[in-house]
Chains A and B, each alone.
Chain A
Amino acid sequence: MRKTWSIMRRDLLKIGRNPLTIFTSVLLPIIYLLIFGNSFQGVLKHLPVVIVSQDNGPFAIRVMEQMQALAAGPRVITITYNSDADTALRDVRNGVYKAALIIPPDFSHDIAEGRIGELGLFTDNVDAISAATLTGLFSQATASIRAGYVTAREPKLDQIVIRPSNLFTTVDYDRSLIPGVIVMALFMGSLTSGVFNWVMDRFMGITECYLVTPPSRWNLAAGVLGSSVLVTSVASVIVLAAGLLMTGGTITGGAPAAAMLVGVIVLGATGILAMTFVILARADNPRVVGASAGFLNVILFFPSGAIYPVESFPTWLRTFAHYNPETHAVSALKSILFKGANFAAVSHDLAFLAVFTAAMLVLASMTVKRTL
């Protein structure tokens, strides 16, 4: 018993002298809970929808009221109105909205005449979860219109139908994960080939040998970053190719799109690598990098929109996602890979990644000291 107690006492003393260990073992699960819980909450919310109403008739107004009720009540959607159908559809293609609901000019008239009233629903089906949710939701909404208006005088209201249209080639679930898998490869590659090697070299005293040789801090930083970006980018391109091969997909947009994909991968690898240097380059022990990898992966990957739409996150998580480089990498990869987006369509994401990468490179270079 004394022997067992001696071992227990030793461990308790060690743990007690490192209170942050206890703190992190409490804090990390709470953070995981917050991130996981809010990344995968059951009901989608705040999905941006643009409504183009070309009909001022009573049934069009009723449809609009029903949509407003959805926006105000369960907050599943946020509504923007636009009078131009072409603009609305372009914005859906560019990822501004998840869907466009178009109420055609003769909608009320058709119903009044006893014909079928058709509503056009154009969804961004690259986000399959949002597209399915919106299609189902709008179908239910029109059903409630029917229920509300079934009177002896208006017998034809059951003729309102939603005509859903996918704006892009159907992306099955496996394929839809490819951008997320690529971004995870970017993160893991950056960590293992970059900052982990750097901290390991410092731990082993190898860095000390570099510091007594002529290369400047810029040479050192550029050398380490360059090799890691190259390895991470090649690994991510292989992941992309393997993903497409396994899911039977192709790159919509051909060679220019492929070049843009590689560009996003290189930019993302550089930004994420520099960020991991800013966070971890001063660590004394490579085990710190290992311990931090899982935590950073969770807080960056799950709010990135790789699996669940960012729009449905609570405000605080949406704000975080907005400044998360992985969110923009996922968004750009999805747009190029599945929507055949051109440079202009992904310029917002690329601009964010470029600014983020530049800022992180400056900060990362400051972590490289020329002396001990």
Chain B
Amino acid sequence: MESQSAAIQARELTKRFGEFTAVDRVTFEVRRGELFGLLGPNGAGKTTLSRMLTTLLVPDAGAASVAGFDVARDPARVREAIGVIPQALTSDLDLTGWENVDIYGGFYNLGRRARRERAQHLLRMVGLTERANDLVQTYSGGMRRRLEIARGLIHSPEVLFLDEPTIGLDPQSRRAVWELLEQLRRDTGLTISLTTHYMDEAETLCDRIAIVDGGKIIAIGTPAELKAKVKGSDRIELEVAGDAEKIAAMLRGQPGVLDVTRDPDGPIVVSADDGAHVMPRIIAEIENSGASVSSIKLERLSLEDVFIRFTGRRLRDEPARKGGFFSSSFGMPMPPGR
């Protein structure tokens, strides 16, 4: 499975916090140029996994490499090769947009001219040229997020990690971020690892998705592949003029039909893997039996349905986090974004 062209490789990657195993022997691979999604409920271990890959946390077991460099043995090289956009808005409020990007260029030893040219290009790309010299404290949340994406790209990284990049943003800003990421993938071939719990975001943007729950990857594939993994991924709902019970019984034996249910006085619901092909056949069968179809509707399983099928409906309780002496003792709130 491992290949030289992989941008990210993880093998049996594990992270424990005391008795709690946040990431449990996770193995996966992200190809170069791929936009890969880590999808999971709160507390699933997505952020911990991402933090190990970005050298913020040291794995307890297993191994991982990013851009060809081992995250535990060669973290400095990994840091040179990655850009990271964390969940919290972290652009410096007391600096201008330009200064935020320019200072990060210095972290990567970029010369003044290279920083200027790159910052101009990136700020133009994220649509902030006009506001580049304004203090970030005057920016909206969406503008800050776009600025942070520009900041994360200042050194032309090989892999960009984004952790919940659209959380808290209005629909317009979310769309703007999506377009930006699609543009990056299209124009630069950048490898992107996107952590999210927004199904539409994952479905719209990601080439492949790993569903993470309980610290493990429980499913991985393209959105279509994930849907195909769920039996009866298509739902055909029909109302008939005739004996509905009899028709339902007749449909149960039809090829491609996985299940037929009907609530009293409700429509007939047919579950199938390939609804588009099954639907004409069952219409023909009903009409051949002398009845007729008064309405019919094909619903494809959404990624959210797939997600719920894989992860269940149980609400997640995150493990209790021990506060530091200075925070818990003084009754002060814990910092955000943890």
In residues 2-48 of chain A, which contact B (Cβ within 8 Å)? 14-15, 17-18, 20-21
**What is the bound-complex CA distance between A285 and B54, given in angstroms?**
24
B32-40, B55-63, B273-281, B283-291: which one contacts chain A?
B55-63
**What is the bound-complex CA distance between A209 and B327, given in angstroms?**
22
From B86, B330, B332, A209 is in contact (CB under 8 Å) with B86
From B79, B88, B326, B336, A283 is in contact (CB under 8 Å) with B326
In residues 279-333 of chain B, which contact A (Cβ within 8 Å)? 323-324, 326-333
From B51, B88, B92, B332, A284 is in contact (CB under 8 Å) with B332
Kindly provide the distance from the CB of B179 to the nearest chain A CB, expressed in whole angstroms. Answer: 23
Q: Which residues of A contact B335 (CB under 8 A)?
A: 202-205, 284-285
Whether the Cβ atoms of B329 and A209 lie closer than 8 Å is no
Q: Which residues of A contact B326 (CB under 8 A)?
A: 280, 282-285, 288
Indicate whether A70 reaches chain B with its CB closer than 8 angstroms: no
Known contacts A208-B56, A214-B76, A372-B57; is-contact A284 B323 (Cβ 8 Å): yes
**What is the bound-complex CA distance between A284 and B331, given in angstroms?**
11
Whether the Cβ atoms of B337 and A205 lie closer than 8 Å is yes
Q: Which residues of A contact B104 (CB under 8 A)?
A: 213
Q: Which residues of B contact A370 (CB under 8 A)?
A: 75
Whether the Cβ atoms of A214 and B108 lie closer than 8 Å is yes
Indicate whether A115 reaches chain B with its CB closer than 8 angstroms: no
**What is the bound-complex CA distance between A320 and B161, given in angstroms?**
50
**What is the bound-complex CA distance between A15 and B109, given in angstroms?**
49
Q: Which residues of B contact A359 (CB under 8 A)?
A: none
**What is the bound-complex CA distance between A118 and B57, given in angstroms?**
77
State the interface size on chain B (CB cutoff 8 A): 36
Known contacts A204-B335, A284-B324; is-contact A212 B330 (Cβ 8 Å): no
Indicate whether B137 reaches chain A with its CB closer than 8 angstroms: no
Whether the Cβ atoms of A209 and B79 lie closer than 8 Å is no
Kindly provide the distance from the CB of B310 to the nearest chain A CB, expressed in whole angstroms. Answer: 29
Whether the Cβ atoms of B55 and A17 lie closer than 8 Å is no
Known contacts A214-B108, A282-B326, A283-B326; is-contact A208 B331 (Cβ 8 Å): no
Indicate whether B245 reaches chain A with its CB closer than 8 angstroms: no
Whether the Cβ atoms of A14 and B331 lie closer than 8 Å is yes
Q: Which residues of B contact A202 (CB under 8 A)?
A: 335
**What is the bound-complex CA distance between A189 and B92, given in angstroms?**
21
Known contacts A205-B336, A206-B92, A213-B107; is-contact A371 B331 (Cβ 8 Å): no
Indicate whether A90 reaches chain B with its CB closer than 8 angstroms: no
Known contacts A205-B337, A371-B55; is-contact A288 B107 (Cβ 8 Å): no
Whether the Cβ atoms of A291 and B79 lie closer than 8 Å is no
Whether the Cβ atoms of B90 and A285 lie closer than 8 Å is no
Q: Which residues of A contact B108 (CB under 8 A)?
A: 213-214
Whether the Cβ atoms of B330 and A18 lie closer than 8 Å is yes
In residues 32-91 of chain B, which contact A (Cβ within 8 Å)? 51, 54-58, 75-76, 79-80, 82, 84, 86-88, 90
In residues 270-299 of chain A, which contact B (Cβ within 8 Å)? 280, 282-285, 287-288, 291
Kindly provide the distance from the CB of B16 to the nearest chain A CB, expressed in whole angstroms. Answer: 14
**What is the bound-complex CA distance between A209 and B79, given in angstroms?**
11
**What is the bound-complex CA distance between A217 and B192, given in angstroms?**
27
**What is the bound-complex CA distance between A44 and B264, given in angstroms?**
98
Indicate whether B334 reaches chain A with its CB closer than 8 angstroms: yes
Known contacts A208-B90, A283-B326, A371-B56; is-contact A21 B84 (Cβ 8 Å): no
From B76, B107, B329, B332, A287 is in contact (CB under 8 Å) with B332
Kindly provide the distance from the CB of B109 to the nearest chain A CB, expressed in whole angstroms. Answer: 8
Q: Which residues of B contact A211 (CB under 8 A)?
A: 55-56
Kindly provide the distance from the CB of B201 to the nearest chain A CB, expressed in whole angstroms. Answer: 21
Known contacts A213-B108, A285-B335; is-contact A18 B329 (Cβ 8 Å): yes
Instruction: Kindly name the residue among A14, A15, A202, A285 whose own CB sees the greatest number of chain B CB atoms within 10 A.
Output: A285
Kindly provide the distance from the CB of B172 to the nearest chain A CB, expressed in whole angstroms. Answer: 24
**What is the bound-complex CA distance between A284 and B321, given in angstroms?**
13
Indicate whether A226 reaches chain B with its CB closer than 8 angstroms: no
Known contacts A204-B90, A206-B92; is-contact A282 B324 (Cβ 8 Å): yes
Whether the Cβ atoms of A372 and B56 lie closer than 8 Å is yes
Whether the Cβ atoms of A212 and B55 lie closer than 8 Å is yes
**Chain A positions near chain B (C-beta within 8 angstroms):** 14-15, 17-18, 20-21, 202-206, 208-216, 280, 282-285, 287-288, 291, 370-372
List 8 interface pairs A-B (beta carbons < 8 Å), by A numbering. A204-B335, A205-B90, A212-B54, A212-B82, A212-B161, A214-B76, A280-B326, A284-B332
Sort A-B residue pairs by CB-CB distance and give the 7 closest, nearest first. Answer: A205-B88, A284-B327, A18-B331, A20-B329, A283-B326, A212-B84, A213-B107
